């Protein structure tokens, strides 16, 4: 992928944990993401707001190499990882959850979590088990180690995904609608977990439709529509932005250009 004008290094007054430079992802005529540049602030919880189909999940996909870039590049610690194979992304310290739960339905909670931990920590038995136990404890899954995801509630399954993502001790965590389908109480738990992870220095990027929770939890917000960033800044600034209000309240447009 050639580096075009749009993707030359922008300057930030901080050292971004990961960066998108002019990222575009097109599916035929559909411009799911179309020229997004952002640099994630270290130690922050950043959030992406945007109506359905605005390209949030696709942007996370681009940053985790799950989808191919049509244009632009992604960077991590000064390294362009646009061509890195998706199975190496976890070794960059990047880990994620998915918008819909994607677990091994017939294997135990323990197996689901240990899978990637064991790969990352190259089978250091004791250490791996310790990390899995810790992740289970932090996500409130104690006692469910032997349960299978298909026996758990949807909210519990989401926790397993989060536990799986944090057990590998990432430096950057992407969460795609982590609290969808959760009760109020569960949302509060997850929000608390995210803040506690932040206090340990973990950089996070969350996609959520729950604006209230985003304002409460996030340090910095991006707003997307039709595949592009329409606003960014601190939560109060972004939610009051006219374009954001229009995108959320106004009519939903077509995004196939």
Partner 1 sequence: MVQDLLNATTLASIYVLFALGMSLVWGTIGILNFAHGSIFMFSAFIAYLVVQQIPLGMPAVIAIAMVSGALIAVAMQYLVFQPIMKKAKNPHAGELQLVIGGIGLSAIPISFAQRSTLSNPFGFSAGTFETQAYTIGGVIITNVMIIILIVGLGLGVGTALWIRNSKKGLALRALGVDPEVSAMMGIDRPKLALATMLYSGALAGLAGALLTYYFNSITSESGDTLLLKAFAIIILGGVGSIFGVILGSFILAFAEFAVLLYTNGSWVTAVSFGLLFLILLIRPQGILGKKEVRRT
Ligand X SMILES: Nc1ncnc2c1ncn2[C@@H]1O[C@H](COP(=O)(O)OP(=O)(O)OP(=O)(O)O)[C@@H](O)[C@H]1O
Which spans of this chain sit near ligand X (rule: CB under 6 A)?
A: 27, 30, 32, 50, 52-58, 99, 255
Q: Among candidates 237, 217, 219, 221, which has minimal Cα distance to 229? A: 221
Supply the DSSP string of 141-160, one letter for each residue.
-TT-TT--GGGS-HHHHHHH
Nearest CA among 44, 94, 49 for reference residue 247: 49
Is 90 a binding residue for partner 1 by CB under 8 A? The answer is yes
60 vs 114 by CB, closer to ligand X: 60
Of residues 7 and 204, the one with the C-beta less far from partner 1: 204
Residues 118-177 that bind partner 1 (CB under 8 A): 118-120, 123, 164, 168
Residue 98 partner contact from partner 1, ligand X, Mg ion, none using kind-dependent CB cut-offs of 5 to 8 Å: partner 1
Over the window 18 to 57, marking each residue x when it contacts partner 1 by CB under 8 A and - when it does not, the resulting string is ---------------------------------------x
Q: Tell whether residue 79 is a contact of partner 1 (CB under 8 A).
A: no
Judge whether 120 and 166 are in contact, CB under 8 Å.
Answer: no
Closest CA to 40 of 205, 223, 154, 232: 205
**What are the Cα distances from residue 139, in Å, to 78, 98, 113, 185, 197?**
32, 16, 12, 13, 11
DSSP letter at 134?
Answer: H
What is the total count of residues that contact partner 1 (CB under 8 A)? 30
The helix or strand, by DSSP H or E, that contains position 174, with its residue range, turns out to be strand 172-176
Interface pick for partner 1 out of 96, 158, 159, 255 (rule CB under 8 A)? 96
| Candidate list 102, 127, 195, 252; residue touching partner 1; CB under 8 A | 102
Smallest distance from ligand X to CB 105, Å:
22
Q: Where are the alpha helices (DSSP H) in 154-222?
A: 154-167, 184-199, 211-217
What is the footprint of Mg ion within residues 95-154 (CB under 5 A)? 99
Residues 6+ away with beta carbon under 8 Å from 66: 60, 86
Give the shortest CB-189-to-ligand X separation in angstroms: 23
Q: Which residues of 48-58 are buried (b: 16+ CB within 10 A; e: fewer)?
A: bbbbebbbbbb
Query: Closest distance between ligand X and the C-beta of residue 56, in Å?
Result: 4
Q: How far is the CB of 117 from Mg ion (least distance, A)?
A: 26
| Residue (69 or 128) nearer to ligand X, CB | 69
Nearest C-alpha neighbor of 36 from the set 64, 60, 2, 59:
59
87 binds partner 1 (CB under 8 A): yes
Counting contacts by CB under 8 A, is residue 114 touching partner 1?
yes
Contacts with partner 1, residue ranges (CB under 8 A) = 57, 64, 66, 85-91, 95-96, 98-100, 102, 104-107, 111, 114-116, 118-120, 123, 164, 168
């Amino acid at each position: 992928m050639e580096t075009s004008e749009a993707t030359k290094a922008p300057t930030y007054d901080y050292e971004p944990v990961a960066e998108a430079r002019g990222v575009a992802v097109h599916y035929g005529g559909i411009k799911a993401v179309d020229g997004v540049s952002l640099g994630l602030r270290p130690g922050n919880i950043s959030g992406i707001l945007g109506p359905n189909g605005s390209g949030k999940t696709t942007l996370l996909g681009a940053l985790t190499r799950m989808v191919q870039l049509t244009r632009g590049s992604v960077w991590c610690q000064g390294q362009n990882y646009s061509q890195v194979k998706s199975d190496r992304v976890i070794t960059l310290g990047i880990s994620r959850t998915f918008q819909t739960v994607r677990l091994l339905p017939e294997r135990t909670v323990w197996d689901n979590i240990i899978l990637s931990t064991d790969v990352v920590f190259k089978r250091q038995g004791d250490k791996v088990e310790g990390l899995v136990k810790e992740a289970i404890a932090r996500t409130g899954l104690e006692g469910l180690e032997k349960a299978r995801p298909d026996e758990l509630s949807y909210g519990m399954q989401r926790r397993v995904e989060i536990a799986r993502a944090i057990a590998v001790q990432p430096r950057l965590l992407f969460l795609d609608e982590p609290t969808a389908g959760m009760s109020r109480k569960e949302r509060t738990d997850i929000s608390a977990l995210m803040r506690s992870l932040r206090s340990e220095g973990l950089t996070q990027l969350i996609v959520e439709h729950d604006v209230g929770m985003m304002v409460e939890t996030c340090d910095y917000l991006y707003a997307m529509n039709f595949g592009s960033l329409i606003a960014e800044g601190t939560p109060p600034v972004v939610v009051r932005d006219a374009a954001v209000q229009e995108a959320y309240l106004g009519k939903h447009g077509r995004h196939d250009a």
